[in-house]
């Protein structure tokens, strides 16, 4: 019989919008959950790291202040792996960055016996080779090392765990469809609302940016790649062989003329007529425009782009930056299993990451 771990060490890489919320939530969890004892042994942001050679814990209540005051230049990724793999207790790394280099190191972390939880989409939507390397390095059930990435799709909503349950219990998923981007949801809900009002496209983009809903460069949301990455992850989990997020049709809403230009927001109004036309045509058909992703598992096809929806459709009725994701399956029949809720934001995304940590704690 295996004995339960008495202590689990946590290493947090990245403490921005999601990571700082995660550290706060981790501090509460550590207080409310006496066993296994959780200790933070490594904390880093891009230019600063904090850890002790003897693995002494970093106080969770003021971890970010400690990092600010006492942090030093971060070690290389291979040195981090070396340090963590020698820790006296089981280690879980929380990758709260969007770093490609860290994502590519997951197989090495796992080979060092270190579990990974992350909202970072890069590893799971990158090359199929990396995906295969990661999942072939995961340890046996109940033992680890583990990989969990619930928040890489739909923030804290149970999207990945639901899909895994459907697949593992033998249901046949035929189609997955939804609004996967909080930013795009906000943009289209305000640009093409059910009541027919709504300002210009460029004004919607500027407002979303002012409210902090977009990436620093809104083109990173408008190019559709964030949605394509999420679809790649779900498609692969559902058994589709998707080579990369650029291997299927993805509609970019970045005018080609502005793709490399430094005055993107200033010049965006010049292109408002294109989006106006789309909204008007949808309106003539008594529909609204939304930006959706869909996977057709029978036809093995994926696509991302604008579509028109009846005003009574659940996708048309979304509010704010909500996500909605529907699973069409054999068991669920005509009405899909649908999950709707906040699809972006530090607290809800961090909650999904913390939920993954709890799943690991139950097993080790
Ligand atoms: P930030 O605020 O830029 O923070 C990144 C942190 O990583 C910083 O502390 C930076 O110093 C550190 N960092 C970067 N490279 C590093 C390195 N090499 N070594 C050490 N530290 C390094 O990013 P966020 O917003 O906190 O996001 C963190 C991760 O969560 C990203 O991978 C992001 O894609 C993912 N994520 C964020 C959100 C969100 O709401 N912020 C969501 C999902 C995943 O559910 C959300 C979502 O999908 C939002 C999406 N834009 C949408 O639907 O509209």
**pLDDT of the residue at 213:** 82
- Catalytic-residue membership of 31: no
- Is 121 annotated to bind ligand? yes
The DSSP code for 73 is P
Ligand 1 pocket mutation, candidates 154, 245, 344, criterion most atoms within 8 A of CB: 344
Question: Is the beta carbon of 21 within 6 A of some atom in ligand 1?
Answer: no
Tell how far the Cα of 337 is from the centroid of ligand 1, in angstroms. Answer: 28
Question: Is the beta carbon of 107 within 6 A of some atom in ligand 1?
Answer: no
Catalytic residue from among 86, 122, 128, 230: 230
Question: Is the beta carbon of 341 within 6 A of some atom in ligand 1?
Answer: no
Domains of the chain: 8-156+347-363 (3.40.50.720), 163-342 (3.30.360.10)
Q: Which residue's C-alpha comes closest to atom 47 of ligand 1? A: 344
Report the DSSP pairing between strands 37-45 and 48-51: antiparallel
Q: How many CB atoms lie within 10 A of CB 150?
A: 26
Q: Which of 46, 54, 57 is nearest to 19 (CA)?
A: 46
**pLDDT of the residue at 2:** 55
Q: What pTM value is reported for the model?
A: 0.95
Q: Which of 234, 238, 230, 242 is nearest to 171 (CA)?
A: 238
Tell how far the Cα of 56 is from the centroid of ligand 1, in angstroms. Answer: 27
Pairwise CA distance, residues 95 & 146, whole Å? 13
Question: Is the beta carbon of 77 within 6 A of some atom in ligand 1?
Answer: no
Tell how far the Cα of 122 is from the centroid of ligand 1, in angstroms. Answer: 11
Give me the interface pTM, i.e. the ipTM: 0.96
pLDDT, averaged in runs of 10, over the chain (364 residues)? 80 96 97 90 98 97 96 98 97 96 98 97 95 93 91 95 98 97 95 91 93 84 96 97 95 94 93 96 96 97 98 94 96 96 91 97 91
Q: How far is CA 21 from CA 16, 95, 157, 346, 349, in A?
A: 8, 13, 16, 6, 9
- Is 118 annotated to bind ligand? no
Atom of ligand 1 nearest to the CA of 184: 54
């Amino acid at each position: 019989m295996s004995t339960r771990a008495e202590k689990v060490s946590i290493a947090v890489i990245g403490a921005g919008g999601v990571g700082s919320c995660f550290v706060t939530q981790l501090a509460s969890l550590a207080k409310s959950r006496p066993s296994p004892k959780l200790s933070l042994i490594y904390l880093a942001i891009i230019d600063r790291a904090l850890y002790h050679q003897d693995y002494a814990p970093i106080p969770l209540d003021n971890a970010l202040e400690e990092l600010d005051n006492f942090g030093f230049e971060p070690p290389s990724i291979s040195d981090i792996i070396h340090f963590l793999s020698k820790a006296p207790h089981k280690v879980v790394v929380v990758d709260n960055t969007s770093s490609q280099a860290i994502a590519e190191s997951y197989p090495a972390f796992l080979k060092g016996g270190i579990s990974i939880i992350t909202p970072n989409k890069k590893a799971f939507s990158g090359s199929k080779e990396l995906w295969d390397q990661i999942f072939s390095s995961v340890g046996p059930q109940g033992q680890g090392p583990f990989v969990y990435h619930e928040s890489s799709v739909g923030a804290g909503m149970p999207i990945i765990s639901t899909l895994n349950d459907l697949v593992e219990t033998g249901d046949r998923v035929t189609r997955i469809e939804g609004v996967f981007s909080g930013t795009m949801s906000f943009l289209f809900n305000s640009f093409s609302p059910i009541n027919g009002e709504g300002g210009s496209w460029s004004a919607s983009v500027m407002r979303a940016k002012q409210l902090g809903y977009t990436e620093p460069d809104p083109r990173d949301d408008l190019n559709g790649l964030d949605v394509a990455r999420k679809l790649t992850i779900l498609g692969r989990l559902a058994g589709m062989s998707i080579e990369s997020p650029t291997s299927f049709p993805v509609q970019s809403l970045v005018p080609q003329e502005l793709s490399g230009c430094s005055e993107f927001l200033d010049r965006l109004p010049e292109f408002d007529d294109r989006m106006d036309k789309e909204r008007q045509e949808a309106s003539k058909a008594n529909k609204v425009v939304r930006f959706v992703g869909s996977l057709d598992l029978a036809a093995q096809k994926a696509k991302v782009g604008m579509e028109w929806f009846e005003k009574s459709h659940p996708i048309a009725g979304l509010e704010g930056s909500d996500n909605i994701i529907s699973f069409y399956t054999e068991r669920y029949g005509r009405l899909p299993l649908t999950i709707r809720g906040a699809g972006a934001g530090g607290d809800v995304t961090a909650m999904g990451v913390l939920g993954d940590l709890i799943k690991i704690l139950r097993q080790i």
